[in-house]
Structure formats: structure tokens, C-alpha cells
Amino acid sequence: MTYTFPPSLHPLRDYLKGQGADTRAFVSARQAAFMAQQLLGTRVKFPVKGADMTSTLFLIQKAVTEKGIATMATPSPTKSKKKKAKSTYANLKRDKPDFSPEVFAEGVHIFCDGASIPNPGVGGWGVVVYEDGQELRTAFGGDPSTTNNQMELTGLLNAIKEAWKLVADYGEITIWCDSQYCVEGVNVWMKTWKSRGWSKRKLNSPKRDDGGIANLDLWKAIDELMKDIPSYGCDLHIKWVKGHDGIAGNERADELAEQGRQQVLERESVELSLLDDVNELDARFRQIMGAA
């Protein structure tokens, strides 16, 4: 079953196509809205799971029409990135990586994902570990106030923690992540940042104060966790995987990330309910004491 955009939402559909998204691959309106929100950076609040998403999609589409964003004429970000020689993601796209099931059938493959809805907002992360093609274990969690990038990094951090449990038994472990931000950061940017004292600017740069790195605590935690893995004779690879493309491990990690987000929402709902009970008891107590 796939989601079909109605004619009234074709501007949004065409925008997504222009960004390289396969609009025929969306299994639901909610998934289409999630992808559109990620690309446009909108902060439209989503209704509860299972509710009609039409009005939400219209609100997101407004960002396309109001900003005058070109639809099919807009070049795909991945095409522009191919011009950058140092871009890990661009190299992957140019080399047409193989994501067939056979690639993940042997060895250890760990998939991670993260998301925040809205962005920033309530987020979740998920990790799934496969050993010789079989699901070994999962992990997930969330945060009531976070961003997409923070959840993607948290997912990657927890994927590395899972890798540590297997370094003594395997000479090679691959972590798959659909976030260009994470993959580029680990494989390209982080080395430069460290050489500059964890800054985007050189040590003697007059603009060094402007060289702050977003989510620095998470980047440092990832670096600290990765640095000793080679001493165990294990090669850890962090690779990009195409998201929302029917790849079982990626879809599973996405599902777990949503599970982590829902867990946070449920916890907040319980806390609010308890607070209401306390307030009601307090009001009743004051009423009784006032009448005494």
C-alpha cells in the first residue's frame, strides 16, 4: 500500500520530487508529511497517530508556496554535493552503493535513526543490531525537548555502544545511518575539528570565537567511544544508507525511533495526569479547610 498525493497537494509532491525523494515509496500520508517537514524545516504539529493528515500536509505545503520555492526545477541537494571532493555522502551517491539484502546477510550490521517532531520538539532514537542477517537486539529512547540532529547523533552514539558488545568477536562492524550530518561528521569533519581544538576555526584564526560546533558534547562522546575500538582488532565503519527506501534495517531503526518518541509522549501524558490529580486534591483540601 502506498500513499497517493491528491491534486491539491501536487505542489508539495513536486517539491519532494525535486529534492530527490521517491514520492511513490511513501506508505502513508504521515510518512510523506514527516519527510516534507524534514526537508522544509517546518514546525507543523502532527495530530495523534492514526488521525487524518490532510490538513497537516496543507500547512506544510504553505512553506513551498509562500516562500516561492521552485518545485521540479530545484536541483537535488545530493547533486550539488557531488561537486565536493571531500564529501563522503557525495562519493557514496556517485559510486551507487549496493543496498541489496545480500549486503547485510553476513557479519554485524547496526542500523540507527533519530527524529524530532516537530523540530525542535519531542524526539526519539532507535538502534537495531543484526548478526548474520538475524535481529540480535534493539534499543530506543527519547527526549522531550530536542532536535533531529541531536536524536540522530544520540542514535549513532548508542549504536557504537552496541558495537562495543561485539568487538571481541568480530574483526569488522558496520553502522548504517541515513543522516548525512552524522556520517559526514564522523568520517570527515570530526578529524578537522579535533585538530583545531574542537573548533571550526583554526587555532590562530581571528574569527575563532565564531567557530563553535553544534551538539559538541555529543560529538565528543562519539569520538571518545570510538577511539579505542581499533585496539581490539576491530574495524568500525560508519556508512550512509538511503532512508525510507524499503531497507529492512533502516525501516526497523526508524520504527524504534518513533517508539522512543511515543514513550516520551506517554510519560509526559502520565505526568500531566498526576499533576492534575494533585491540583484537584489541593483545591479540595483548601475548600475543606476554608469551610472548617
CATH T-level topology, domain 103-260: Nucleotidyltransferase; domain 5 (3.30.420)
Task: Tell me the pLDDT tens digit for each residue of 170-210.
Answer: 999 999 999 999 999 999 999 999 999 999 998 888 888 88
Return the top range by mean pLDDT from 199-208, 264-273, 282-291: 199-208
110-128 residue pLDDT tens: 999 999 999 999 999 999 9
pLDDT of residue 81: 40
Q: Order across the sheet with 134-146: list the strands.
A: 134-146, 121-131, 108-117, 172-177, 235-240
Q: Tell me what the mean pLDDT of segment 216-239 comes to.
A: 96
Band of the pLDDT at 75, cuts 50, 70, 90?
very low
CA distances in angstroms from 195 to 200, 231, 236, 285, listed in the order given: 10, 21, 21, 62
On the question of pLDDT at 253 being above 90, the answer is yes
pLDDT given for residue 272 in this prediction: 62
Joined together, the cell numbers standing for residue 105 give: 546477510
Tell me how far apart the alpha carbons of residues 269 and 162 are, in angstroms, rounded to a whole number. Answer: 30
Written as nine digits, the cell of 249 is: 534495517
Q: What is the mean pLDDT of residues 9-33?
A: 85
| pLDDT at residue 80 in the model | 41
Mean pLDDT of 217-223: 98
Alpha carbon distances (Å) from 20 to 77, 84, 87, 124, 242:
8, 18, 18, 25, 11
